[in-house]
Amino acid sequence: MKLIVLNLPRNFNEQSLALLFKDIGNIKSCTLILNEDTGKSKGFGFVEMALAHEGELTIKKLHGSTVNEKRIRVKQVE
C-alpha cells in the first residue's frame, strides 16, 4: 500500500522518514520529496508498505501524530 506523508519537519531526511514506519511493518520503498535548489525537504514524502494491512495500521498509528512539534498526516495514495 502506497502512503503519502504530509507536514513533515523540513529537517527530515529519507532515513528519518523510514525510521517512523519500520516498527509498524515492512517498507518496500521510501521517498522524501526535496527542493531541487536547496536539497532540503519540501515537507512531504511517500512510503510504500509491503502489505495492505500494514498500511492500514500505519495510518491508524501515525495519522495525526506529532513529529518534532509538527502534526503529520498519513493517507493512502489512490
CATH of the domain at 34: 3.30.70.330
- Can you give the pLDDT at residue 78? 82
Dist CA 24 CA 59 (whole Å):
10
- Can you give the pLDDT at residue 41? 92
Q: Are 21 and 49 in contact (CB under 8 A)?
A: yes
Count of structural domains, the chain: 1
Read off the pLDDT of residues 58-74 as tens digits, 9 standing for 90 and up.
999 999 999 999 999 99
Q: Identify which has the larger pLDDT, 78 or 55.
A: 55
Dist CA 59 CA 47 (whole Å):
11
- pTM (two decimals): 0.92
| Rounded mean pLDDT, 5-28 | 93
Q: Which set of grid coordinates corresponds to residue 49?
A: 508498505
Q: Which are the contacts of 12, defined by CB distance < 8 A and separation ≥ 6?
A: 32, 41, 45, 68
Angle at 28 between CA 8 and CA 36, to 5 degrees: 45
